[in-house]
Amino acid sequence: MNFGTSRASAIENLNKFVDQNLFEYSKLRNFDFGPENKSNTSCLSPYITHGVINELEVIKKSLSKFSFTKNEKFIQEILWRTYWKGWLELRPGVWIDYLNDLKKIREEFKDNTDYKNAIEGNTSIECFNEWVKELKENNYLHNHTRMWFASIWVFTLDLPWQLGAEFFMKNLYDGDAASNTLGWRWVTGIQTQGKNYLASEWNIKKFTNNRFNKIKLNENAPPKFSDKTYSIIKQDFSNSEIIENQSLLIFENNLSFEITDFQNNKFKKIYIISNNNENRYIKLSEKVLKFKSLLIKDQEQRLKNKSIDCEIIDIGEIKNISNKTIGLYPTVGENLDYLNSNNLKIDFLYRRLDQYSWQYCNKGFFNFKNYIPKIISTFN
C-alpha cells in the first residue's frame, strides 16, 4: 500500500477507483483481501480526512459514472464521515470525556502486560497480530478489520476501548477525532446504547477470504455500559464576516484551499498550521506526522504556484501573528483544543456542506440517511 502525499495522487486514486472498482463497491466493500489487495474500497480516507479532496468532489465524480441509485451505498459511506463529525460537534463533551478518561486509564495500564502484548501484536490471536503489524506498516486498515480489531480488543482481550482508540489515532493516516472515537464507542455498545458489535470466527473467515482460521473469540460478550449521557448543545455554525486585510488560518483538515467555499475570497496571507506532537495529547507516530507534514507542504506549493502569499507555521506560533486572522474551522479535536486551552479567540469559517448537514446529526445515522438525497441535490 502506498499513499502518495499530494493532491495529485489523491485525484489519481479517486479516478482509478471510480473507473475500475466503483461498480462492484456494494458487493465487495466488506471484504478485506489483505494488505496487498485493497482495490475493492477507495482508500481515500487519508485524503478526505485532511481535506486534500473533499466529500462533495468524490460524490460528484462517482455520480459522473453512475446514477444516485447505483451509487447509493458509496455515497452513504462518504457521508458517514460528515454525520459523525456533526454528531460530535453537537456533543463536544464526548471528546473531552474521552481524553479525560484516557488520561486515567493510561496511568492504570502503563505496566499492563495484556495491553503491551496487544500493541506489540503478541497476543494468541493470529489475525489480530497481523492487523497490528499492518496498521504500523501501512497506517491504514480496512473498515471491517477496524470493527473486528476493536471488538477483539474490547471483548476478547478485555482492554479499555479508550486505549485502542488512542492506538488507532497514533498510527492511522486517516486518524480523525470523530470517526475514530465514535467508531470505537459504536463497537463497544455505548454509542448506540445496548448494541455492541461482536466479531465472530465465521465472519472474519468469510470476509478475509479464508486468510485466517481457528480464531478463538469471545462471541457472546454483553455490551459495555456508560452512565454518561450527552444532550445536544446548540451551536452557531454561521460564518464570520471576511474583512479586508485579514489573514486565513488553515488547519490539517482543510488542506486544499483552492477547492473550499472560500477559494474566491481574498486574504492577505494564508497560514497553514502544522501541529507536531508537542501540542498534541495523543502523540502520533513518526510516520503519521511525516504524512501530515508532506501533505501540508504540497498545499503550500499549490498555493505558491497560484502566487498566493502563504507560510507554514507551527500551531504554537499562532499567538505571534500580528495580522487580523480568521480560520477555517478545525472541527472538534486536538487543534480546536489547542486554540481553546490557549484562549486564542479565532473567528471561524464553516464549510457549507457541514453547515447544512450538521442540522441532521441530532439523531442516529438511519435518520440522517433520509436526508442524503436532499443534501446531494442541494450541493450538486
Ligand X SMILES: Cc1cc2nc3c(=O)[nH]c(=O)nc-3n(C[C@H](O)[C@H](O)[C@H](O)COP(=O)(O)OP(=O)(O)OC[C@H]3O[C@@H](n4cnc5c(N)ncnc54)[C@H](O)[C@@H]3O)c2cc1C
Binding site for ligand X (CB under 6 A): 29, 41-45, 48-49, 77-78, 80-81, 84, 142-143, 146-147, 150, 168, 172, 174-176, 179-180, 183-184, 187
- Among residues 42 and 162, whose Cβ is nearest to ligand X? 42
Task: Please give the grid coordinates belonging to residue 27.
Answer: 458487493
User: In angstroms, rounded to a whole number, what is the distance separating the alpha carbons of residues 327 and 151?
Assistant: 37
Least Å distance, CB 120 to ligand X, is 20
- Phi, psi values for residue 275, rounded to 5°: -125, 100
Residue 84: which residues within 8 A CB-CB, separation 6 or more? Answer: 178, 179, 182, 183
Q: Which residue is nearest to ligand X (CB)?
A: 183
Max Cα–Cα distance, the chain, nearest Å: 65
Min separation Cβ 43 and ligand X, Å: 4
- State the sign of the Cα–Cα–Cα–Cα dihedral 55, 60, 61, 66: positive
Smallest distance, ligand X to C-beta of residue 167, A: 11
Give the angle subtended at the CA of 74 by the CAs of 262 and 8, to the nearest 5°.
50
Q: Which is nearer to ligand X, 247 or 335 (CB)?
A: 335
Find the shortest distance in angstroms from Cβ 320 to ligand X.
31
Q: What is the dihedral of CA 316, 106, 89, 364, to 10 degrees?
A: 160
Instruction: Report the residue number, 180 or 203, with the smaller CB distance to ligand X.
Output: 180
- Tell me how far, at minimum, the Cβ of 330 lies from ligand X, in Å: 15
Instruction: Please choose, from the candidates 15, 13, 27, 54, the residue with its C-alpha nearest in 3D space to the C-alpha of residue 258.
Output: 54
CB of 267 to ligand X, least distance (A): 28
- Minimum distance between the CB of residue 168 and ligand X, rounded to whole angstroms? 6
Nearer of residues 29 and 280 to ligand X, judged by Cβ: 29
Between 271 and 358, CB nearer to ligand X:
358
- Name which of 131 and 356 has its Cβ closer to ligand X: 131
Q: Report the residue number, 176 or 334, with the smaller CB distance to ligand X.
A: 176
Sign of CA dihedral 144, 159, 83, 176: negative
Contacts of range 37-42, beta carbons closer than 8 Å, 24 or more positions apart: 38/1, 38/140, 38/142, 41/142, 41/143, 42/13, 42/14, 42/17, 42/74
